[in-house]
């Protein structure tokens, strides 16, 4: 989908699934999180949502949905900090899924294992950050 023939109904759907749904999940489960031991929200984002790293344009629907998710994650981190809840935006890397395709360097197992290891290490200092699967910070 390129500039000049954007599908605005599809854009609305992508925002609903990628941006609004994760925030709605946080609202729905915040009391459970607050009562739990590992109070962590991990929103699966994408480096495609980075404004700083967008050097080749296009991908309006996906980029904006993930940039908006990143912005929402930052607000969750601030708003829920006093309840001891950590919120991070994590890019899984380029992964060999239906979306990532066969040329991606990471298997789903490798990506998930790295994200699980990252979650184990998260502290309140990480909250509000935009991280890659290996814990590297990504520019907004």
Q: Residue 17 interacts with ligand NAP (CB under 6 A)?
A: yes
- Of 67-126, binders to ligand NAP (CB under 6 A) are 91-92, 94-95, 97-100, 104
Report the nearest approach of ligand NAP to the CB of residue 124 (Å).
Answer: 25
- Which of residues 65 and 127 has its CB atom nearest to ligand NAP in the complex? 65
User: Least separation, in Å, of the C-beta of 35 and ligand NAP?
Assistant: 26
If one asks whether residue 15 binds ligand NAP (CB under 6 A), the answer comes out as no
Give dist(CA 127, CA 14) in Å, integer: 25
45, 130 Cβ separation under 8 angstroms: yes
Q: Pick the closer one to ligand NAP by CB: 94 or 140.
A: 94
Residues numbered 27 to 56 that lie near ligand NAP (CB under 6 A) are 44, 46
Whole-angstrom distance, CA of residue 44 vs CA of residue 36: 21
Q: What distances in angstroms separate CA 1 from CA 4, 8, 57, 102, 121, one per listed residue?
A: 9, 11, 12, 21, 39
Nearer to ligand NAP, 30 or 112 (CB): 112
Q: Please give the distance of CA 63 from its chain centroid, rounded to a whole number.
A: 11
How far from 99 is each of 72, 94, 123, 133, CA to CA, in Å? 23, 9, 30, 17
Closest to ligand NAP by CB, 12 vs 31, is: 12
Task: Return residues touching ligand NAP (CB under 6 A).
Answer: 17, 44, 46, 91-92, 94-95, 97-100, 104
């Amino acid at each position: 989908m390129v500039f000049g023939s954007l599908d605005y109904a599809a854009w609305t759907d992508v925002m609903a699934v990628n941006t609004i749904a994760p925030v709605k999940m946080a609202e729905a489960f915040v009391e459970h999180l607050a009562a739990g031991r590992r109070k962590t929200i991990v929103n699966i984002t994408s480096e495609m949502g980075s404004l700083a790293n967008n050097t080749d344009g296009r991908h309006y629907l996906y980029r904006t949905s993930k940039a908006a998710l990143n912005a929402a994650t930052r607000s969750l981190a601030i708003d829920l900090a006093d309840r001891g809840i950590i919120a991070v935006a994590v890019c899984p890397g380029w992964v060999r899924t239906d979306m990532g395709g066969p040329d991606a360097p990471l298997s789903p197992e490798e990506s998930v294992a790295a994200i699980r290891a990252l979650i184990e290490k998260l502290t309140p200092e990480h909250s509000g950050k935009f991280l890659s699967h290996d814990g590297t910070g990504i520019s907004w």
